[in-house]
Structure 1
């Protein structure tokens, strides 16, 4: 599926860029072609005027240079010495009556050029003759026509070279763009593929977690049905099992729905400035009895009057998740330490618990959904591996950071960094 998606992206990218290259090259070619055509037209008009003025100054037609030494090139057009041109005049039946050129030209060329120009049936045009490109213009005169010819092989050679250059550059660019597009296509598809794999894993994990309590409930219901003559009081043990598993399922589904809401970018929460110090202190007071019930020591140091901008209830939930997590994984007669202080423009909350710690290979994954370093122990403690995922989603929405540091068999510390209100 992702291979097809990548190939579609790659083909679409290549097609779009190829079309843009073709349009760009075509635009450059036509602009160059129009410029060359304009220069040729101006040149041939200058030649016409030059031959016309020369004949007028001489008062007669110049001699045929076919059998005489030609004059210097600058006698006609000193600024265009490299341009070969000639003029012929014909009668109304297209018989040559006069020919003029600054170069020694065979009579065959005069005749062939005249026939080519006549065959075009137009006042101006182009033709190829003996592997050379010529441009002509035909002007009616008294009792005939004047035809001026200009060798434009070099000008049109530039256009031909331009086409070959474009084709070569286009081929090289196409190869380069192909590999670049493939590289970026793979990079673009990778996040989608990773998200899809995470989604598949999420569905599989959620199904697995739901499967266990459902199996327990189903088993206990079967036991109740097999003893349908007994009183409810005698079957209370099975009913309590059903109730316990139902509550676990309810908590799981609520957590899943909450994560779905957090993932929804349209989910707008009400944000305001609130006292982070008071929020953390209230959570500690709420959980203090639970901590002492587990025979754990509690140390906390909170800097007063630290304000942040966000949703008070959500941030309290993060503190509750981290503190509950610390209680579950603190070793017997261990210690929980909580600190809240200001660091530059941020508020730093740290919750530390002594215990087994977290191995380095697990630290980057503990915020993934359903991820647990010890699945059997987590299930015994009633965890699903969603608490830290919820905490991270909340902190991300508040433009903060949450991370953990741990020393194996010693302690684990969770840090929450939130921007402080001005």
Structure 2
């Protein structure tokens, strides 16, 4: 189940990131492409009304000087059938190359398109060659084109139908094409690398995200198993005692009182267990409201210790007190008393005969520290955190004897977390264990 959940998380995460990354790269590429295309189109428009010779001049020393506006370009004039008429270029290329350029452009006839020629990319624009008008020696209107052809007509409206010539301007866009190709390759390479890295990062966070769920799931299964086990024992005893009662149906209640006492004891035990489970469930959902008020914590601890003196006397346990007087706090009195009672009761249940319990209460800076230490066989550092797990018991054999279900410390921890405090345990494996809470 958790493998499938992790797989779905990875697929969803990778899909979203991939979609965002592809969209971002596409927008950047599209903007770059449009900017370059727009710039080249503007250059072509400018070249259509300007000859390459306008960008090349001769200095006084006879050297060729290029204008700042110079672009790698050339002009070709063709007739109405696409036949080459004139070439205006400073680029050293063979005549066949110019003819091939004219043929390719004339066949496609798509302005601002790109053709490949001799390993270079050229953008072209086709326009009708401009007609220049001047007066001849006889005072007639003489028309001419860049090709050098001149003619005289009586009807100016017939110019478009006679001697039609077209100008094709070619602009070298090889570097721009390489730039766009390089940008595309960079995006693809970076995209794959990023996806590769993101995959492992997503895997790491997926495992971290699922781990608490997995732990919670395992704890829930363990909780159900432990609760079932705890309920199974008293139910079995009640059933056995019921069978004993039914075996002697004719006997009086007084004669079978012991069986009824067993049933009552086990019913009380089950009631306590169910109430503790309900309490934990309500606290987990924060359904129990806290009632804050100021009270003397020192006196509250002393009262709880006084209530346990009879138990201490019977067990021969010495209570050592280090209670700092008049420590007043603002908290939930009942919940604090419950935590202290749980810790004190736990200490008496597990301390050894004729030993001691040491209780301390003091103020450390702005915090209140309560600790209770009892002599017993300690726990290893690995087992200490488990003390606050539900149904955890260090001595399984004595559990049924002392009526402990292993929920007291879990309840104490839940209360302290609700109050914003901290509770933990320390142990000397050879002789004692200490429970501490801080408010």
TMscore range, shorter length = 0.7 to 0.9
Classify 1:136/1:74 alpha carbon distance in 2 versus 1 (closer, same or farther; 3 Å).
Answer: farther
Classify 1:130/1:379 alpha carbon distance in 2 versus 1 (closer, same or farther; 3 Å).
Answer: same
Does structure 2 conserve the Cα–Cα contact (< 8 Å) formed by 1:72 and 1:102? no
Displacement after TM superposition at 1:136 (Å) = 1.2
Kindly provide the CA deviation profile for residues 236-269 of structure 1, in whole angstroms up to 9, marking residues without a partner as x: 1000000000000011111111111121145543
Match of 1:37 in 2: 37
Unpaired stretches in structure 1, ≥5 consecutive residues: 59-70
Match of 2:153 in 1: none
2:354 to 329, 333, 339: 333
Structure 1 distance, partners of 2:225, 2:362, is 41
2:175 to 154, 166, 185: 154
Displacement after TM superposition at 1:94 (Å) = 4.3
Deviation larger for 321-330 or 105-114: 105-114
Kindly provide the CA deviation profile for residues 68-107 of structure 1, in whole angstroms up to 9, marking residues without a partner as x: xxx97645x4454xx4310123445544443211123333
Deviation larger for 94-103 or 178-187: 94-103
Structure 2 distance, partners of 1:105, 1:296, is 111
Classify 1:92/1:409 alpha carbon distance in 2 versus 1 (closer, same or farther; 3 Å).
Answer: closer
Structure 2 distance, partners of 1:73, 1:173, is 50
SS at match of 1:357: coil
SS at match of 1:36: helix
Q: Tell me the C-alpha RMSD between the 2 structures.
A: 2.5
Structure 1 distance, partners of 2:277, 2:170, is 86
Match of 2:281 in 1: 260
Classify 1:40/1:73 alpha carbon distance in 2 versus 1 (closer, same or farther; 3 Å).
Answer: farther
Q: Establish whether residue 217 from structure 1 lines up as the match of residue 217 from structure 2.
A: no
Give the count of matched residue pairs: 402
Classify 1:52/1:336 alpha carbon distance in 2 versus 1 (closer, same or farther; 3 Å).
Answer: closer
1:88 to 76, 89, 92: 76
**Which of the pair has more CA radius of gyration?**
2
Match of 1:110 in 2: 98
Structure 1 distance, partners of 2:334, 2:324, is 20
Classify 1:371/1:121 alpha carbon distance in 2 versus 1 (closer, same or farther; 3 Å).
Answer: same
Match of 1:8 in 2: 8
Match of 2:151 in 1: none
Structure 2 distance, partners of 1:79, 1:251, is 95
Structure 2 distance, partners of 1:136, 1:271, is 84
Classify 1:52/1:170 alpha carbon distance in 2 versus 1 (closer, same or farther; 3 Å).
Answer: closer
- Tell me the TM-score normalised to structure 1 length: 0.87
Q: Establish whether residue 241 from structure 1 lines up as the match of residue 243 from structure 2.
A: no
Unpaired stretches in structure 2, ≥5 consecutive residues: 132-163
Does structure 1 conserve the Cα–Cα contact (< 8 Å) formed by 2:82 and 2:103? no
Displacement after TM superposition at 1:49 (Å) = 4.2
SS at match of 2:308: helix
